[in-house]
């Protein structure tokens, strides 16, 4: 059952705990968004659900009632103890979610889902870690600050378009979203948040880690002409990108933020195919 504002304040007082701004501890006190999170996650009995930062447990209790198998990661030792002592069926660890993006859950063929009220400071870094997991979650229902949402789902020719926009949209589609006013949290953050429902695409495109790092390096110089950036980077990927753009008659004076997601995907595919061909030749 969702904790109200007064219940949340009362619990924190009993725990002798003060919310830490540096950890983004803003606790949800509006039951309607808990209900919506569960509905969007489509949780069934025996589903595996990973909760990031359960905090006071306002969502955890409802997850338990669905009879799902709940794994959780809570960095705050006081709140970790509260969750562990209140719900002994939750497999929870007291760690940083960036280091343990899905806690102690060991992915298998059954699939899993993630439900999270993400601290703004780690939201993008954590998501990037999730996208590198060997098995991706089937669904993610995430509460993030609006600015993060705008970046994650921006498109080319936008100042907010970034590598994470490319990597996320290549693997997930946005099924639902709604605004969550700052008054729905205690203490109130300075800006509104967004509740997102993400569903894994039937056909996902996974960028190799080295290719992802190259794209990040290119976007560091997002306002410079991409031909100039590649000459400065002087790497195998940089030479390959110049060749790819020329072959596809794409102007080298364009900027990284102007190239659509599908162009980056085709480049990654062409480079991977070239590598495979080179490896085959080296065997003879």
Strand 113-117 with 48-52, pairing: parallel
Does the domain at 209-282 match CATH 1.10.10? Answer given as no
Residue 124 three-state SS: helix
Q: Where are the domains of the chain?
A: 5-200, 209-282
CA nearest to 191, candidates 199, 202, 183, 200: 183
Digit-by-digit pLDDT tens for the chain (284 residues) are 678 999 999 999 999 999 998 888 999 999 999 999 999 999 999 999 999 999 999 999 999 999 999 999 999 999 999 999 999 999 999 999 999 999 999 877 678 999 999 988 899 999 999 999 999 999 999 999 999 999 999 999 999 999 999 999 999 999 999 999 999 999 999 999 999 999 999 999 999 999 999 999 999 999 899 999 999 998 999 999 999 999 999 999 999 999 999 999 999 999 776 553 344 233 33
Strand pairing partners for 137? Answer: none
- Domain 5-200 class in CATH: alpha beta
Chain centroid to CA 158: 20
Q: Specify the pTM.
A: 0.91
5-200 matches 209-282 in fold? no
Q: Read off the tokens for 221.
A: 């110089």
């Amino acid at each position: 059952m969702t904790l109200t504002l007064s219940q949340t304040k009362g619990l924190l007082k009993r725990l002798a705990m003060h919310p830490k701004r540096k950890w983004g501890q803003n606790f949800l006190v509006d039951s309607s968004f808990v209900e919506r999170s569960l509905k969007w996650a489509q949780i069934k009995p025996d589903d595996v659900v990973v909760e990031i930062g359960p905090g006071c447990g306002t969502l955890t209790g409802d997850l338990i009632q669905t009879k799902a198998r709940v794994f959780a990661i809570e960095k705050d030792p006081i709140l970790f103890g509260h969750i562990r002592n209140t719900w002994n069926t939750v497999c929870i660890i007291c760690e940083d979610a960036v280091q343990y993006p899905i806690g102690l859950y060991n992915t298998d063929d059954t699939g899993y889902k993630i439900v999270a009220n993400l601290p703004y400071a780690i939201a993008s870094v954590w998501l990037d870690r999730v996208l590198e997991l060997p098995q991706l979650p089937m669904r993610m229902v995430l509460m993030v600050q609006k600015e993060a949402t705008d970046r994650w789902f921006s498109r080319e020719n936008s100042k907010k378009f970034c590598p994470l926009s490319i990597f996320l949209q290549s693997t997930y589609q946005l099924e639902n979203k709604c605004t969550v006013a700052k008054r729905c949290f205690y203490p109130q953050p300075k800006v509104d948040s967004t509740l997102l429902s993400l569903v894994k695409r039937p056909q996902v495109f996974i960028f190799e880690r080295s290719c992802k790092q190259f794209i990040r390096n290119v976007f560091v110089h997002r306002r410079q002409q991409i031909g100039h950036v590649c000459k400065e980077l002087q790497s195998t990927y940089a030479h390959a990108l110049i060749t790819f753009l020329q072959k596809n008659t794409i102007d080298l004076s364009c900027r990284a933020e102007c190239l659509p997601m599908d162009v980056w995907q085709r480049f990654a595919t062409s480079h991977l195919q070239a590598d495979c061909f080179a490896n085959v030749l080296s065997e003879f």
